[in-house]
Structure 1
Amino acid sequence: MALRTTITERQRRLGSELRKLREQAGLTVSDSAASIGMGRVHLTHVEAGRTAISTERLHGLCASYGCTSSTYVDALVCLSEAKGKGWWSPYKGKLPTAALDLAEMEASSEDLRSYESLFIPGLFQTEDYTRSVFQASDTVATTEGVDTSVRFRMQRQALLTREDSPKVHAVIHEAALHVRFGGTNVMRRQLLHLVELADLPNVTIQVLPFTAKAVSALNTPFCLLTSHSGALETVQLDHPEQSLYLHAPDAVARYRRQFERLRTNALPPVNARATPVSHDSRDSLGLIQYVLYTL
Structure 2
Amino acid sequence: MAPRTTPTARQQRLGAELRKLRDRSGMSAREAGALLGGDQARISNIETGRTPVSAERVQTLARNYDCPDESLIAALAAMTGERRDGWWEEYRGILSPGLLDLAELEHHSVHLRTAQTASLPGLLQTHDHARVVFQQGVPALPPPEVEHRVSFRIKRQAVLYQESPPPYEAVIHEAALRMQFGGPAVTKAQLRHILEMSERDCVTIRVIPFTAGAYPGSGQTIFYSHGPVQQLDTVQLDQSHGTVLLDAEAQLAKYRTLLHRMEAVALTLDESRKFIHSIARDL
Q: TM-score, normalised by structure 2?
A: 0.94
In 1: Cα distance, 2:152 partner to 2:46 partner: 31
Against the structure 1 CA distance between its residues 291 and 61, is the aligned structure 2 distance closer, same or farther, given a 3 Å change threshold? Answer: same
The unaligned stretches of length 5 or more in structure 1 are 272-282
1:224, 1:233 within 8 Å by CA — same for their partners in 2?
Answer: yes
Name segments (4+ residues, structure 1) moved above 3 Å. Answer: 216-219
> Are 1:3 and 2:3 an aligned pair?
yes
Determine the structure 2 residue equivalent to 1:291.
Answer: 279
Determine the structure 1 residue equivalent to 2:59.
Answer: 59
Determine the structure 1 residue equivalent to 2:148.
Answer: 148
In 2: Cα distance, 1:53 partner to 1:101 partner: 19
Determine the structure 2 residue equivalent to 1:86.
Answer: 86
**Structure 1 residue 216: Cα displacement:** 6.1
In 2: Cα distance, 1:33 partner to 1:82 partner: 20
In 2: Cα distance, 1:7 partner to 1:79 partner: 13
Which deviations, in whole Å up to 9, do the C-alpha atoms of 1:244-264 show, x marking residues without a partner? 111111211111111000011
Aligned pairs for 1:8-47 (under 5 A) are 8-47=8-47
Which deviations, in whole Å up to 9, do the C-alpha atoms of 1:28-61 show, x marking residues without a partner? 2222222332210111121111222233322211
**Structure 1 residue 193: Cα displacement:** 0.9
Which deviations, in whole Å up to 9, do the C-alpha atoms of 1:83-120 show, x marking residues without a partner? 33111121111111111111111111110010111111
In 1: Cα distance, 2:15 partner to 2:205 partner: 35
The unaligned stretches of length 5 or more in structure 2 are none
In 2: Cα distance, 1:181 partner to 1:36 partner: 55
In 2: Cα distance, 1:140 partner to 1:110 partner: 35
Against the structure 1 CA distance between its residues 55 and 292, is the aligned structure 2 distance closer, same or farther, given a 3 Å change threshold? Answer: closer
In 2: Cα distance, 1:214 partner to 1:180 partner: 23
Against the structure 1 CA distance between its residues 115 and 83, is the aligned structure 2 distance closer, same or farther, given a 3 Å change threshold? Answer: same
> Are 1:112 and 2:112 an aligned pair?
yes
Amino acid at match of 1:161: Y
Amino acid at match of 1:10: R
State, as a whole percentage, how many aligned pairs show the same letter.
Answer: 39
Determine the structure 2 residue equivalent to 1:50.
Answer: 50
2:231, 2:249 within 8 Å by CA — same for their partners in 1?
Answer: no
Amino acid at match of 1:252: L
SS of 1:84 mapped into structure 2: coil
**Structure 1 residue 68: Cα displacement:** 2.6
